[in-house]
Amino acid sequence: MTILPARRTDISLHTADGLTLVGELALPADRPPVATLLTLHPLPTHGGYMDSHVLRKAAWRLPALADLAVLRFNTRGTSSPRGTSEGTFDAGDGERFDVAAAIEFAEFHDLPHRWLVGWSFGTELALQYGRDPAVDGAILLSPPLRRAGDADLAAWDTFGKPLVALVPELDDYLRPAEARARFAQVRQSEVIGVDGAKHLWVGEAAVRRVLDEIVAHVRPDVPVPLPVTWDGPVAVSDAEDVSR
């Protein structure tokens, strides 16, 4: 629950269909970011939001540990302590505009080397709507491959950008062997099976594995595993550490 130093700013995203979405941008405290994570949270009807624990801890740690910008936001109709985004949940259809708004924000603010990081429902949004020339690649955490299907995978193969899937050994929806078969049609994809992990990446060891893999792919010049100690000022969150 330690929060490392960063410049954290509340932001608003504006969609092409007229909605305002709430979010936060975390930047390295005293230097420009080297790369950017545009995060897409799990299913809001099952408790997913911008503060879902892996994404929240990415924003708390990676600006300081890996010089990354981390953009988090609530998709339409989703609430968190930051606030509630306008609109209503649209089962992954209208959310196409939410993904586009995040990419456009990053472009407008000159955030470099933009990678989508989707988790569960967020992986579906990344696969369906993330094929934008402004995106360098995508990292998928626990992809269920339910809304996104073979046509989306074929389109990503044509898109040509890197696609990395972190698949828990004990996932509820898609496990490593099936994931490797499904993602095989994306020639530039990589499927990483994570022993002992579950869909929600519960526990500090699981979170560290996810963050290490993200950094290894987005900033391969940064050594991993990432440090687990920090010699400097920190804050400690009083929020409950729940997996959502």
The pLDDT value recorded for residue 244 is 43
Structure token digits, residue 115: 């990678």
pTM, two decimals, is 0.96
Residue indicated by tokens 């990483």? 192
Which residues face 71 on adjacent strands? 25, 38
For residue 194, the tally of other CB atoms under 10 A from its CB is 20
Query: Domain 2-221 in CATH: superfamily?
Result: Alpha/Beta hydrolase fold, catalytic domain (3.40.50.1820)
Contact indicator for 93, 76 with CB cutoff of 8 Å: no
d(CA 114, CA 102): 10
User: Domain ranges in the chain?
Assistant: 2-221
Contact indicator for 114, 136 with CB cutoff of 8 Å: yes
d(CA 23, CA 11): 5
Residue 160 has, within 13 A of its CA and on its CB side, a CA count of 2
The pLDDT value recorded for residue 1 is 83
d(CA 139, CA 189): 10
pLDDT in tens, 141-190: 999 999 999 999 999 999 999 999 999 999 999 999 999 999 999 999 99
pLDDT in tens, 217-228: 999 999 999 999
Q: Predicted confidence band at 240 (pLDDT cuts at 50, 70, 90)? A: low
pLDDT in tens, 67-125: 999 999 999 999 999 999 999 999 999 999 999 999 999 999 999 999 999 999 999 99
As a whole number of angstroms, the longest Cα–Cα distance in the chain is 48
Task: Give the start-end residues of each E strand in the chain.
Answer: 2-3, 7-14, 20-27, 35-40, 68-73, 79-80, 83-84, 114-119, 135-141, 163-168, 189-194, 235-236
Q: Predicted confidence band at 241 (pLDDT cuts at 50, 70, 90)? A: low
d(CA 103, CA 81): 23
